[in-house]
A = this chain, B = another copy of it.
Amino acid sequence: MIELTHQPLSPQALVDQVQSGRAGAVVTFVGVVRGESEGRQVLYLEYEAFEPLAREKLHELAVEMKARYGVDEVAVAHRLGRAEVGEVITVIAVASAHRREAFEACQFGIEQLKARVPIWKKEVFKDGEHWVGA
């Protein structure tokens, strides 16, 4: 399950989606807006995606996580638009019969999300703003 949305994300909703009677382990990564970046106070962040390609890449990623680690269910969500400090940016939830694969798949998921999904972040400070990762 894939979600790319301008609305606030609910980690619990994703956990509920992946959970089933078969799975004994659910590992979740939640990325949250930090109030500080390299020593500067962050006012808020802004996320932008090239949406059709981003959705396709997120879907590919979820399929690959299942195939590569043999986990039962995967949900990947990313917030778009303006996100305040403390708000959730990314959720990756993995359900599996066993916990080792769930941890590995979840960690792989967040690394790969950053590497291959066309999403960009702008950090907005009191005295300026800049796009990150460029």
Query: Which residues does A use to contact B, with CB under 8 Å?
Result: 11-12, 15, 19-36, 85-86, 97, 99, 102-103, 106-107, 110
Contact = CB atoms under 8 A, between A and B. Distances in A.
A15 B11 contact: yes
Copy tally for this chain in the complex stands at 2
A77 to B, nearest CB: 14
A29 B25 contact: yes
A27 B28 contact: yes
Contacts of A22: 34-36
A78 to B, nearest CB: 15
Q: Is the interface of A mostly helix, strand, loop or mixed?
A: mixed
A31 B24 contact: yes
A4 B22 CA distance: 24
- The winner among A32, A85, A107 for most chain B CB atoms within 10 A is A32
B99 A19 contact: no
A34 B12 contact: no
A94 to B, nearest CB: 10
A29 B110 CA distance: 16
9 contacts: A15-B30, A19-B32, A21-B34, A22-B36, A24-B31, A24-B34, A27-B29, A27-B30, A31-B99
